[in-house]
Chains A and B, each alone.
Chain A
Amino acid sequence: MVAAMTAGVMNRTMAGLILLVAVMALLSLATGDGGFAPADIWAALGGDPLAATILGTIRAPRVVTALLVGACLGVAGTITQAVMRNPLAEPGLIGINGGAGLAVAVLIIGYGGAGGHLLPLAGFAGAALAAGTIYALSWRGGTSSIRLLLVGIGIAALTGAGTAFLTAMGDVRDVQRTLAWMAGSIYNADWTRLHWLLVWSAPTFALIWFLARDLDLIRLDETCSRSLGMSLHLTNGIMILLCTLLAGAAVATAGPIGFIGLLAPHLARGASTRHAGLLPAAALWGALLLMGADLAGRMVGLPAGLLTPLIGVPFLGFLLWRRKND
C-alpha cells in the first residue's frame, strides 16, 4: 500500500513535470525575434511557408536541442552526485567543462580559427580526455569518491590555467570567439547536430536507466556497496564513462552550461528517492531549466549559459543554508 502510494505521488510529479516541459516547449516555439507570437505556430500549421521555415529550421531545433541538452546535464549530474556521494557534485567536477574549454581554445586560438565545424568534436574530445585523465590519476588499485573529487579539482585548475594562457596570448578575434563559445549557448542549433546528439544520448539514457539500481547502491557507503556484492570499481568506471558520454555530448552541442547538472538532481529529489524515478525526473527538470534559461536569454539577448548561474547561484546558497540548519 505504501509502495502504491509513493508510486502515485511519483506518477503525479512526473505527469506535472511532463506538462511543464510541454508548456515551456510551446512557449519557446511561440517566441521569436518579435517577442511572444503564438500566431506563428498557427500560421506554420496553416501552411504559411515563411512561418513554417522559421519554426522548422530555427525555433524547433533550438527548442528540442535545449530540451535534450538539459536532459543530458540533469542525468549526468544525478550520476555524478551518486558516484561522488556528494549532493554538491556536478559533471564539471570530472573535468567535462574544463577539458572541453581547453580543447576548444586550442582549436580556435592555436589553429587560427580554422575548422569551426570541428568545435563540437573538439569539445567532446577535450571533455572525454579530461574525465579519463581524472579517472586514471585517481586510480590506486581502485578509486574513491574523495580522490576523484580532489584530482578533479586539480585538473579543473590546470585546464583553466591552460585556457587562460591561450586567451591571454591569442588573437583578439579568436579569443572573442572562444569566450563566446565558453558562455554556453544553443543559438546555432540545427537538425544535423540535433540528430547526432539524439543518436548519441538516447542509448546512453536507456543504459543508465537500466543501471538505476546500481546507482541506488553506489551512493551508499563504499564498504556496504562492496559487501552487498557490487564490483564497485567496475561500476564506478562504467558510471563515469556514461556520465562523460552525456555531459560531453551536451558540452559539444551547447558549450559549457553550468549549474543545471547541480540543480536538476536536487529538484528531482521530491519525485523519488530511487534512481529509477530520480533519473527521468532530473532529465525533465534539466530540460525545463535549460529551455527556460534559453527562452529568458532570447528575451534579453543573452546566451542561456550566462543565465543558468543567475538561477543556480541563489539555489546553491539556499542548499548550503538549509544543510546548515538541518
Chain B
Amino acid sequence: MTEPAPHSPLEACDITVSYSGRHVVRELSFRVPAGCFTAMLGPNGCGKSTLLRALAGLHPPETGRVLLDGHPLGRLSRRQLARRLSMLPQAPRAPEDITVRDLVEQGRYPHRALFDRWSKADEDACGEALALTGLSDLATRPLAALSGGQRQRAWIAMTLAQSADILLLDEPTTYLDLAHQLELLELVRLLVRERGKTVLAVLHDVNQAAQFADMLVMLKEGRILHMGRAHDVMSAATMREVFSVEGLVTTHPLDGSPLFLPAAMRPARAG
C-alpha cells in the first residue's frame, strides 16, 4: 500500500452545507487523500452525498470554502473544473437510444471548444476508457441493452474519458449484484494503483470498503468522526458510535482486512 501524498488537491475548509433549509454538513474540514481510494461511510442522511456534491462544486457551501489546488471552486469555470474533477451521481439517467460510445464520448465535453473537431486525444481517451472498463466490444450497443453492471461500467468509462485526476463516485455499487459490485471496486482500485487517480466514493458496505479502499472516512450528522486506514478506524466502538450497531470486528480470513460482524439489532432507541 502506498503512503498517502501529503498535498491533496481537493479540500473542504470549514464548510457548512444546507439542503432544503437544514444544515446537512456542519463546519467540516476535509482533505481528500491524494492518490488513494477513499471510501466514505455513514448512516443514511449523514451528509455523505451532500459533501460529495459540495466537493464537486455542484452545491456551494453556505459558509466555508472548497479549494482545488488552493483556489476556491467558484473561481474556476465549470469547464475548467470538469477537466480536473469528475463526479458520477447515484443512478444517473440517460436517454434510451444512447449507445455506450455516445455516452463515453460525452466525457470529452470539457476538453472541446465550440468549433473543435473530434481530435486524436479525444479518440484515444475514449478508446482507453472503453478498454479499461472492458467495454470495447460493446461500444456500439445501446446503453439500455446492457446489464446493470455493464451500464455502471459505461458511466464510469464516461467519467474516465473526462481525463480528470479526481473521481467522486456516489454509491457506485448500488443496484449491482455482488459479482458486479466486486468487479467495480476492483476497477476503482486499479484506477488508483495504476492510473494514479484520486477516488472518493460513497459506499454502503463497510466490509467492502475495508477490503478495497485505502482510507475510510466515517460521517455522522454532517461531521467526520473518524478518518484513517481501515485497521485503525474500524472497531466495535467506532461502528457503534457511527452506525449505532453492536457487533465485533475481526479479521477477514482471506485477505486480512478488518471485518465487521453485526449482532442482531436491539429495538430502536432514540438518537
Name A's B-contacting residues (CB within 8 A).
2, 6, 85, 87, 210, 213, 216-217, 219-221, 223-224, 226-231, 269, 273-274, 326
A227 interface neighbour in B86, B95, B115, Cβ under 8 Å: B86
Q: Taking the complex as formed, is B98 at the interface, i.e. its CB lies under 8 A from any CB of chain A?
A: yes
- Return A143 CB to nearest CB of chain B, in Å: 15
CB-defined A-B contacts under 8 Å, sample of 11: A2-B101, A221-B92, A223-B53, A223-B89, A227-B89, A228-B109, A229-B83, A269-B97, A273-B97, A273-B99, A274-B102
Known contacts A221-B89, A224-B89; is-contact A87 B107 (Cβ 8 Å) = no
CB distance from B107 to the nearest CB of A (A): 7
Seen from chain B, the residues whose Cβ lies within 8 Å of a Cβ on chain A are 53, 56, 58, 77-83, 85-89, 92-99, 101-103, 106-107, 109-110, 112, 114-115, 139-140, 144, 158, 162
Contact of B95 among A2, A220, A229 (CB under 8 A): A220
Q: How far is the CA of A213 from the CA of B105 in the complex (A)?
A: 10
**Interfacial chain A residues near B109, Cβ < 8 Å:** 213, 217, 228-230
Given contacts A213-B112, A217-B106, A274-B102, contact A227 B87 (CB under 8 A): yes
B56 (CB) vs chain A CBs: closest residue? A227
Q: Which of B94, B97, B106 contacts A228 (CB 8 A)?
A: B106
Chain A contacts for B106, CB-based, 8 A: 216-217, 220, 224, 228
Q: Is the CB of B92 within 8 A of A226?
A: no
Contact call B93/A229, Cβ cutoff below 8 A: no
- B86 near A85 with CB under 8 A, answer no
Partner of B94 from the list A221, A223, A274 (CB cut-off 8 Å) is A221
Asked if A230 and B139 make an inter-chain contact with CB atoms under 8 angstroms apart, the answer reads no
In the bound complex, do residue B98 and residue A230 qualify as a contact, i.e. CB atoms below 8 Å apart? no
Cross-chain contact B114 with A223 (CB below 8 angstroms): no
A2 to B96, CA, bound (A): 20
Question: Complex Cα distance A227/B170, Å?
Answer: 13
Residues of A within 8 A of B93 (CB): 85, 220-221
List 5 A-B pairs, minimum CB-CB distance, nearest first: A229-B82, A229-B110, A221-B92, A229-B79, A223-B89
Residues in chain B near residue A213, CB distance under 8 A: 109, 112
B58 touching A223, Cβ below 8 Å: yes
A216 touching B139 by the CB < 8 A rule?
no
A47 to chain B: closest CB distance in Å? 47
Among A85, A210, A223, A228, chain B packs the most CB atoms within 10 A around the CB of A228
Least distance between B185 CB and chain A CB atoms (Å): 21
Q: A2-B139, A226-B58, A227-B58 are in contact. Are A220 and B96 (CB under 8 A)?
A: no
Contact A273 B98 (CB under 8 A): yes
Nearest chain B CB to A102's CB is how many angstroms away? 33
Cβ contact of A273, chosen from B78, B85, B102, B112, cutoff 8 A: B102
* Measured CA separation A263–B61 after assembly (Å): 43
Closest to A270 in B: B97
Q: Which residues of B contact A2 (CB under 8 A)?
A: 101, 139-140
Pairwise interchain contact A226-B78, C-beta atoms closer than 8 A = yes
Seed contacts A87-B96, A210-B115; 13 additional CB < 8 Å A-B pairs? A210-B114, A217-B109, A220-B95, A221-B92, A223-B58, A224-B88, A224-B106, A227-B56, A229-B78, A229-B83, A229-B110, A231-B78, A273-B98
